[in-house]
Amino acid sequence: MSTIWRKLGRLNPAWVGLALLLPTHAVAAESLEPAGDTLHETASVKALETESFVLADADVPTPSVSDLMETTEGNRLEQVTSVSQLSDVQPDDWAFQAIQSLVERYGCVAGYPDGTFRPSRAMSRREAAALVNACLDNLSNRFATKEDLDTLKALQDEFAAELATLRGRVDGLEARVATVEAQQFSTLTKLKGEVVFGAGYVFDQGQAADEGDATGPGGAFEEDRVFLAPRVRLNLDTSFNGDDRLRVRLESVNVPELNNSTNTRMARLGFDGEDGNGFTLDELNYQFKPIENLKVKIDANAGEYQDNVDTLNPYLQSSGSGALSRFGRFNPIYRQGSGGVGATVVWDIAEKASLSVGYLADQGQNATGAGDDIDDPTGGLFGGSYAALAQLTVEPVEKVKVGLTYVRSFDEAGNVNVTSSTTNDIQRRPFGNGLDTTADHLGFQTTIQAADWVNFSGWVGYTFARTANDVNNDSAELLNWAASLQFPDLGAEGNLAYALFGQPYEVVATGGGFADPDNAATPYHIEAGYKFKVNDNIAITPGVIWILNPEHSATADDVVVGVIRTTFKF
């Protein structure tokens, strides 16, 4: 017997596996004992009738050949595809893994029609021959035959030149990839860029200027001209573990606020800003997820809540591809603390609800201010101007989201900007710039995807402002609101048409010694635009911004600004 195992050890592993097919079905040793290179020639049918078969279980009686033939003829073996089809093969059987492999991997084991394998009975030579033949047929289908190899060699000879060319190109690519890997800037950092060209014209100049007044807001107007102004943003985004992001943004912008030609800030563009076309560090922040469903973002420079929390105005919030105006992008409540340093935490408390809290200090980098006058504010992360935000966002039904937002702000004297938005000085600094001012801002936002082709967004913002240290306890209440419709994929996928109507901040109530500004008329903002997607990298958005009663004046001409924004992304 040891001789047999030594020979099995020298066989191909597939044949060794085939040998495992017969763990309890071994054929009589005398019949299979080799004599030279052939089976023993004295084996005969008579010997089969008288010789006994070796059984795995000694207590099981050895059947005769006639019994086996009757059993075989009455119960034809059928191929099975899973060992679970064999009812009498259990996982705790010592040969279970071998049988499972031969059944499911090689298709070399058959069962009886009654779903049994009968592992305890012996196997006749004809049964062994049938199973071995079926196994060889199955194996031959899995591996290449000699004819297959001959065909492959012929194809190789025929396309030898093409294969050599391809091999050369692969070698060249490998060399170039090696060079790129050796010279690449970083394996962790990606560069994302956006370039905006803004072109437009102011059709009307607003209210008339008094003779002799200086050029600018409240004075004489500069002559209207067609303008073309650029903005460039380069984002270097680095991820260290896949769930975090370190962003360094460089920006160059020279887009005017249009107040010199309109005499109001209400017509500001959503992508405006002026730094003399010099690149500056516009953003430096790091966001990460300490645990699942919790995101933390730390702003070390120029933090803005609209970049940190959901503004519920998904189609219009982007300055490069959303609304053309500054006012139309989102509720101005999110501009509180703009440009500050601090942190924001967004917690997905449920599948359809999230809670956001944040803190931004306007002069968080200032560690030396005395705070005794306007020119020397206290500053610091907690000693000076700040804005603390809390927002609950829920999705009560599918494709309907609502957000409730509260912001507590403190503006140190010399840095007062209650509305942080497109308003005149009375709304921005109702008590002037020389008094510390606190405010409580409330916001309600919603977005409703009524259908795939139309979305509604809107908001209402209400602000309670008061002086922090004034004996008169001056106070003012301000209101703003807007509603818009967006039509995604109008005309082609990626396009967007929209229309917006709203009211910029206006003082609606006063208290203490603060005099009512006596707004003669309520200003309204009307806007419409259509973003045309040229390709995945270029979009062109023409539109119009129309301001009724600018600067709360009933006598001022309406301000109408035609704009074409072209956005390149790479």
For 423-463, how does the pLDDT look when each residue is reduced to its tens digit (9 = 90+)?
888 888 888 888 889 999 999 999 999 999 999 999 999 99
Tens digit of each residue's pLDDT (9 = 90 or more) over 154-203: 877 888 888 888 888 998 999 988 888 777 777 788 999 999 999 998 87
Q: CB under 8 Å to 443, separation ≥6 — which residues?
A: 331, 333, 334, 403, 404, 405, 406, 407, 459, 460, 461, 462
Does the pLDDT at position 13 exceed 90?
Answer: no
Mean pLDDT, the chain, whole residue set: 80
- 515, with CB counted inside 10 A (0-12, 13-18, 19+), is exposed
Does the pLDDT at position 472 exceed 80?
Answer: no
Q: In Å, what is the CA distance from 393 to each residue of 387, 390, 404, 433, 439?
A: 19, 10, 7, 34, 22
Q: How many CA atoms are closer than 13 Å to the CA of 381, on its beta-carbon side?
A: 8
pLDDT at residue number 197: 95
Radius of gyration of the chain (CA): 41
Q: What is the Cα–Cα distance from 30 to 51, expressed in whole angstroms?
A: 8
CB 469 within 8 A of CB 435: yes
Tell me the pLDDT band of 204, cut-offs 50, 70 and 90: low
More reliable by pLDDT, 404 or 117: 404
Q: What is the Cα–Cα distance from 269 to 545, expressed in whole angstroms?
A: 9
Does the pLDDT at position 56 exceed 50?
Answer: no
pLDDT at residue number 43: 37
Tens digit of each residue's pLDDT (9 = 90 or more) over 224-237: 678 899 999 999 99
Does the pLDDT at position 393 exceed 80?
Answer: yes
| Centroid of chain to Cα 37 | 68
Neighbour-count burial for 31-59, b at 16+ CB within 10 Å, e otherwise = beeeeeeeeeeebeeeebeeeebebbeee
Q: What is the Cα–Cα distance from 354 to 7, expressed in whole angstroms?
A: 70
pLDDT at residue number 256: 86
pLDDT at residue number 385: 87
pLDDT at residue number 377: 67
Using a cut of 0.75, tell me whether the model's pTM lies above it.
no
Tell me the pLDDT band of 311, cut-offs 50, 70 and 90: very high
Q: What is the Cα–Cα distance from 396 to 346, expressed in whole angstroms?
A: 19
More reliable by pLDDT, 59 or 108: 108
More reliable by pLDDT, 378 or 313: 313
**Mean pLDDT, residues 537-544 taken together:** 97
CB atoms within 10 A of CB 352: 13
CB 309 within 8 A of CB 344: yes
Q: What is the Cα–Cα distance from 566 to 521, expressed in whole angstroms?
A: 35
Q: Which CATH architecture describes the domain 185-569?
A: Beta Barrel (2.40)
Tell me the pLDDT band of 284, cut-offs 50, 70 and 90: very high
